[in-house]
Homo-oligomer: A and B are copies of this chain.
Amino acid sequence: MADILDLAATNLLSPVILSFVLGLAAALGRSDLSVPEAAAKALSIYLLFAIGFKGGAAVAANGLDGTLVATLVAGFVLSAILPFIAFLLLQVLTNLSRVDAAAVAGHYGSISIVTFVAASSVLEGRAISSEGYMVAVAAVMEAPAILSALWLVSTGGSGRRMDSELMREILLNGSIVLLVGSFFIGAITGDDGLEAISSFIVAPFTGVLCLFLLDMGLVAGRGLRESRGVLNMGAVAFGIAMPIIGSFIGLGAALIVGLSPGGVALLMVLSASASYIAVPAAMRVALPEANPSVYLTLSLGVTFPFNLTIGIPLYVAVSQAVTGG
C-alpha cells in the first residue's frame, strides 16, 4: 500500500503528468492556450513511431518467446469481451439509451495508445522491462471492440451497420498502420536501427510526451467544459469503475498467458484504457445517432485522467505485488 502511494506520488509529480494537469487547468480556466491541430497530429505520429519502433527493436534484441501468440489472442478476446461487461455495467449505473450504451461500451473494449505510452514511460522510469511485442497487442486490441459494440446494437434490432469499407477503414486506420509498421521496422533493423535513430526516438521521448499530454489536457478540459451536464454521477462512476474492472480482467488474462511483471502491467493498462480516436471515428460512421459528447467525455474526460494519474501506478503496483516482480 505504501508502495502504491509512493508510486502514485512519484507519478503525479512527474513532468509528464503535471503537463497534463497544466493543460487541463488552462482549458478549465478558459485560457486561449492551444496546440495547433497539425502540431498535435505530428506529436502523435512521433509517439506512435517511437513506441512501435522501440517495441520492435526490443523483440529483435530479446527474441520472441512462446507467449507472443497467446498474448495476441488474449488481447483480441479481451477487446471483444470487455464491451459486454461495460454494457452491463452501464445498464446498472446509467440510463443511457441502448445505442449510446453500446457506443460507450465499444470505447472501453478498445484501447488508448497514449495511456499505453504513458505507462511504458512509467515502467521505464522504474526500470521494469516488458515484452517488446506489447505494442502489437495494443494494435490488435483496437478493433474487435467495435464489432462487439455494433453487434450489441444490432441485436437491439437496428439492422446492419458494418460494411466492408468501414471494416477496411478501422483495420487500416493511421494509428494501427503506423504502430505496426514501425514495430516491424524496429524488429527488422534491430539494434543497429535503434542506434541510428535513438537520439531522435529515445532521448527526447519524455519531453515530447510532456507537450503531447499538455495538449491532451487542453482537449480533455475543453471537452469537460463544453459537455457540462452531459454526464450524471452514475456515468462518472462507470468511467472510474470500468477501468479498474477491466484491469483486473486483463490481469487474469496476463497471468494465464504468463507475462513478465512489466507485461502484466501493460495488459492491465490496455484493458483499463478506453479509446478516443479510432472508436469515435468508427462510431460517427456506423452509429451516427449515438451522442458523441457522451462517449468522448467519458473516455477522454473521466477515464483517461483517472488512468493517467491513479490508474497506472495502481496497475503497476498490483502487477508487482501479484507477480512478485
Please report A residues at the B interface, Cβ cutoff 8 Å. Answer: 13-15, 18-19, 22, 25-26, 29-39, 41-42, 45-46, 49, 53, 125, 168-169, 172-174, 177-178, 181-182, 184-185, 188-189, 193, 196-201, 203-208, 210-211, 214
Contacts and interface: CB of A to CB of B under 8 A. Distances in A.
What is the interface of chain A mostly: helix, strand, loop, or mixed?
helix
A182 B217 CA distance: 14
16 contacts: A18-B188, A18-B189, A22-B177, A22-B178, A22-B181, A26-B172, A26-B178, A29-B177, A31-B177, A35-B41, A36-B38, A36-B41, A39-B39, A200-B203, A200-B205, A204-B204
A15 B53 contact: yes
B49 A211 contact: yes
Given A185-B18, A185-B19, A35 B42 contact: yes
Most chain B C-beta atoms within 10 Å of own C-beta, residue among A22, A35, A184, A208 = A22
A32 B31 CA distance: 32
Contacts of A208: 200
Contacts of A197: 15, 204, 206-207, 210
A25 B35 CA distance: 29
A45 B49 CA distance: 20
A25 B181 contact: yes
